């Protein structure tokens, strides 16, 4: 595979084309220092076979909230621990140098963000930044070069400038945020001057030291740079001495999906393909590359020279090793749910992963071995049941799993028929492939009864039977079908549909039906999709709007007739004509089996939705915690 061919970038001999890009993990100290947890996280990815790692963001000034610290010489020794770790596994590494510009969130409440022009951002602080003076620009350029020298002293093979995502360098690039009239504004050459001078200062200070840059292939911001302008900027950067260009899509404020399932796998490779036409240095592409076949195709078609995949490596640190050995069916695929990564980062929380709850907790599973081997019966092959089975089997326990259907994955298999959730199908596939290899005995198409469970003579029983659709006491409810039955293909619908309940399942159902039906989605709450994560919800609403779904909030169904749903709104009662009403008002826990068994086995536990209906990440985290204890 081309994915595993070596590549050389300005003297760096890199063993393969897989890049772990910079991403905020929030594992560092409050000051931005290196922690053992951070080292453990990167060690597992280095061991897993990546070729190149970029760590960061790394802040060049002390005031910025978030990021690793590289603004002072005192951080060099601890940063060197990170570079040595990568080199131990023959992984080349870089630090991504960061100035947030107008996106700045500061430790100092009296500090005003700075930017090329005094234009407030539509997200984060929304504060009007101070326009940088020429002297202040030169000072920041010096801070970048000093930070690069620290990276070099710490043993990193290169630095990467973050000229993407809407941070300071990209604010200079963009005509949407750079309205300057001096030599740093106006023409493309002038708007690129800040980045060019940073590269030149780094070269002056560090000598022949590789400088990379991450840029958006298209800003996807109104009045901003498109790929046409970014090609020109890329060429200017190459001429300035940049040795590689790492292409991503959009800014944080872009109003189009960038990281969710609404972006197809490898969906932005056309941007790197265009950038490659303008430059001769290696080009890296990122975004929604979670599959080695997709990555290989991008490389084979010449759309990029390397592929960057953070979430794929978050989900499975052994992704490169498994791909190289042809063990594609054992890769734990990122399902682009964003629940543990993007949602957490945007709220200043530590990164984790729905499909890999051990992410960020690598030290806890390094010597995963049970003190005493037990026979464990798990009832339910949904997210909680699968994760508990995997980690319990890895600990050496004998695990038996009962699943009432013919496949693992639980509600994920139902939701995966929706265009908003199709990647969820990968979850169950992984466990169907991997659990038998770990020695887990799976009984498919088997409804677990107390007798069947007890016949296994278990030491421990884990009930993970999930939840069932809630049927509300609405007059005429017998005229409706459930969202679960619609998503699984068991229920047919007419041309006009009212979906009652605007949570995640209701949105999934509306999205599935939108192409062939006139869909009205109603919810009694003030917002549609209130249970959907912060990084995903707006993209779901955007999709439903684009598909013509009518969304009504503060609207409660009070009667379901054969040809209409009667609703109560702030303006009174009204009738919505429909052929089919679909119920998506939530779920109720399935916990009967627990009560039947709780006094008949030595140990018994409940996890996931059968405790209380919640998000899938709650189930997998609960399952992981339990597996560590047993």
| Pair 239, 199: CB distance under 8 Å | no
Q: What is the mean pLDDT of residues 500-509?
A: 97
In a shared domain, residues 392 and 507: no
Kindly report the CATH number assigned to the domain that includes residue 17: 3.20.20.70
Q: Which residues contact 110 (CB under 8 A, 6 or more apart)?
A: none
Q: Which residues contact 367 (CB under 8 A, 6 or more apart)?
A: none
Is pLDDT above 90 for 278?
yes
| Pair 137, 178: CB distance under 8 Å | no
In a shared domain, residues 357 and 374: no
Nearest-angstrom CA–CA distance, 146 and 69 = 13
Determine if the pTM surpasses 0.75. yes
Q: What is the pLDDT of residue 584?
A: 97
Q: What is the pLDDT of residue 109?
A: 82
Q: What is the pLDDT of residue 343?
A: 95
Nearest-angstrom CA–CA distance, 596 and 611 = 15
| Pair 585, 318: CB distance under 8 Å | no
Q: What is the pLDDT of residue 589?
A: 92
Q: What is the pLDDT of residue 374?
A: 97
Count structural domains, the chain. 3
In a shared domain, residues 593 and 575: no
Nearest-angstrom CA–CA distance, 188 and 185 = 8
* Ramachandran area for residue 165 (φ above 0: left; ψ -120 to 50: alpha; else beta): left
In a shared domain, residues 43 and 182: yes
Q: What is the pLDDT of residue 378?
A: 98
Please say which residue of 362, 391, 408 terminates a domain.
Answer: 362
Q: What is the pLDDT of residue 410?
A: 96
Q: What is the pLDDT of residue 110?
A: 86
In a shared domain, residues 80 and 184: yes
**Nearest alpha-carbon partner for 233 in 259, 261, 199:** 199
Q: What is the mean pLDDT of residues 157-175?
A: 98
pLDDT in tens, 200-256: 999 999 999 999 999 999 999 999 999 999 999 999 999 999 999 999 999 999 999
pLDDT in tens, 104-126: 998 888 899 999 999 999 998 88
Is pLDDT above 90 for 415?
yes
In a shared domain, residues 204 and 55: yes
In a shared domain, residues 52 and 157: yes
Q: What is the pLDDT of residue 126?
A: 85
| Pair 98, 163: CB distance under 8 Å | no
Q: What is the mean pLDDT of residues 443-453?
A: 97
Does the CA dihedral 184-186-190-195 come out positive or negative?
Answer: positive
Please say which residue of 362, 391, 421 terminates a domain.
Answer: 362
Query: Cα separations (Å) of 151 from 8, 81, 154, 206?
Result: 20, 12, 5, 10
Q: What is the pLDDT of residue 592?
A: 81
Lowest mean pLDDT among 41-50, 216-225, 323-332, 609-618: 609-618
Is pLDDT above 90 for 591?
no
Kindly report the CATH number assigned to the domain that includes residue 539: 3.50.50.60
Q: What is the mean pLDDT of residues 520-533?
A: 96
Nearest-angstrom CA–CA distance, 605 and 372 = 18
Nearest-angstrom CA–CA distance, 180 and 163 = 18
pLDDT exceeding 70 applies to what percent of the chain? 100
Q: What is the pLDDT of residue 124?
A: 87
Instruction: Tell me the DSSP string of 365-425.
Output: HTT---SS--EEEEE--SHHHHHHHHHHHHTT-EEEEE-SSSSS-THHHHHTTSTTSGGGH
In a shared domain, residues 541 and 424: no
Instruction: Tell me the DSSP string of 176-194.
Output: TT----STTSSSHHHHTHH
Average pLDDT, the chain: 97
Q: What is the mean pLDDT of residues 374-395?
A: 98
Tokens describing residue 299: 């490389």
In a shared domain, residues 448 and 492: no
Q: What is the pLDDT of residue 255?
A: 94
Domain residue limits at 491: 477-585
Kindly report the CATH number assigned to the domain that includes residue 597: 3.40.50.720
Please say which residue of 362, 394, 418 terminates a domain.
Answer: 362
Which three-class secondary structure string do you get for 526-581? Answer: CCCCCCCCCCCHHHHHHHHHHCCCEEECCCEEEEECCCEEEEEECCEEEEEECCEE
Is pLDDT above 80 for 33?
yes
Does the CA dihedral 213-219-225-230 come out positive or negative?
Answer: positive
In a shared domain, residues 621 and 515: no
In a shared domain, residues 579 and 592: no
| Pair 481, 562: CB distance under 8 Å | no
Q: Which residues contact 12 (CB under 8 A, 6 or more apart)?
A: 52, 92, 157, 158, 210
Q: What is the mean pLDDT of residues 464-482?
A: 96
Beta pairing, strands 587-589 & 467-469 = antiparallel
Q: What is the pLDDT of residue 131?
A: 98
Lowest mean pLDDT among 190-199, 310-319, 340-349: 340-349
In a shared domain, residues 549 and 430: no
Query: Cα separations (Å) of 442 from 403, 436, 564, 572?
Result: 7, 8, 44, 53
For residue 281, cis peptide bond before it (omega within 30 degrees of 0): no
Q: What is the pLDDT of residue 106?
A: 87
């Amino acid at each position: 595979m081309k994915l595993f061919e070596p590549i050389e970038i300005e003297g760096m001999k890199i063993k393969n084309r897989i890049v772990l890009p910079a991403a905020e993990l929030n594992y560092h100290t409050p000051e931005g220092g290196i922690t053992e947890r951070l080292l453990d996280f990167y060690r597992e990815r280095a061991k897993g076979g990546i070729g190149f790692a970029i760590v960061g963001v790394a802040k060049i000034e002390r005031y910025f909230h978030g990021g690793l610290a590289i603004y002072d010489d005192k951080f060099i020794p601890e940063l060197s621990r990170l570079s040595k770790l990568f080199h131990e596994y023959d992984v080349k590494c870089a630090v991504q140098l960061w100035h947030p510009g107008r996106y700045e969130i500061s430790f100092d409440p009296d500090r005003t963000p700075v930017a090329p022009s005094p234009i407030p951002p539509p997200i984060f602080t929304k504060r009007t930044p101070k326009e940088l003076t020429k002297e202040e620009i030169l000072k920041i350029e010096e801070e970048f070069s000093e930070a690069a020298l620290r990276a070099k002293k710490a043993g990193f093979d290169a630095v990467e400038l973050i000229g993407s995502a809407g941070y300071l360098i990209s604010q200079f690039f963009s005509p949407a945020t750079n309205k300057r009239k001096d030599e740093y504004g106006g023409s493309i050459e002038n708007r690129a001057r800040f980045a060019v001078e940073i590269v030149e200062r780094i070269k002056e200070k560090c000598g022949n030291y590789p400088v990379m840059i991450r840029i958006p292939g298209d800003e996807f911001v109104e009045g901003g740079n498109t790929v046409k302008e970014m090609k020109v900027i890329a060429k200017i950067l190459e001429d300035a001495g940049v040795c590689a260009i790492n292409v991503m899509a959009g800014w944080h404020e872009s109003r189009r999906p960038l990281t969710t399932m609404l972006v197809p796998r490898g969906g932005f490779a056309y941007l790197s393909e265009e950038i490659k036409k303008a430059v001769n240095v290696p080009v890296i592409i990122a975004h929604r590359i979670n599959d080695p076949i997709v990555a290989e195709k991008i490389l084979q078609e010449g759309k990029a020279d390397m592929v960057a995949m953070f979430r794929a490596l978050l989900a499975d640190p052994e992704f490169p090793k498994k791909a190289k050995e042809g063990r594609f069916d054992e890769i734990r695929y990122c399902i682009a749910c964003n629940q543990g990564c993007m949602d957490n980062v945007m709220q200043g929380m530590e990164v984790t992963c729905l499909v890999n709850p051990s992410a960020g907790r690598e030290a806890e599973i390094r010597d995963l071995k049970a003190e005493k081997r037990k026979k464990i019966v798990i009832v339910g092959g949904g997210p909680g049941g699968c994760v508990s089975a995997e980690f319990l089997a890895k600990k050496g326990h004998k695990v038996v799993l009962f699943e009432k259907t013919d496949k693992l994955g639980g509600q994920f298999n139902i939701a995966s028929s929706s265009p908003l959730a199709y990647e969820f199908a990968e979850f169950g596939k992984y466990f169907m492939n991997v659990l038998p290899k770990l020695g887990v005995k799976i009984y498919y198409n088997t409804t677990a009864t107390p007798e069947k469970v007890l016949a296994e003579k278990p030491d421990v029983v884990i009930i993970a039977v999930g939840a069932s659709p809630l049927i509300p006491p609405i007059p005429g409810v017998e005229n409706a079908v459930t969202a679960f039955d619609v998503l699984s293909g068991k229920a047919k619908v007419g041309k006009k549909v009212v979906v009652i309940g605007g949570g995640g399942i209701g949105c999934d159902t509306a999205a599935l039906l939108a192409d062939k039906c006139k869909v009205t989605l109603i919810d009694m709450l003030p917002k549609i999709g209130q249970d959907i994560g912060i990084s995903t919800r707006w993209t779901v609403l955007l999709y439903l709007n684009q598909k013509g779904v009518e969304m009504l909030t503060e609207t409660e169904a009070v009667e379901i007739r054969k040809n209409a749903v009667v609703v109560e709104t702030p303006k009174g009662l009204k009738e919505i004509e429909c052929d089919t009403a679909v119920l998506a008002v939530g779920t109720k826990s399935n916990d009967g089996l627990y009560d039947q068994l709780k006094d008949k086995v030595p140990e018994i536990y409940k996890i996931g939705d059968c405790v209380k209906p919640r998000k899938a990440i709650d189930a997998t985290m609960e399952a992981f915690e339990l597996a560590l204890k047993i």
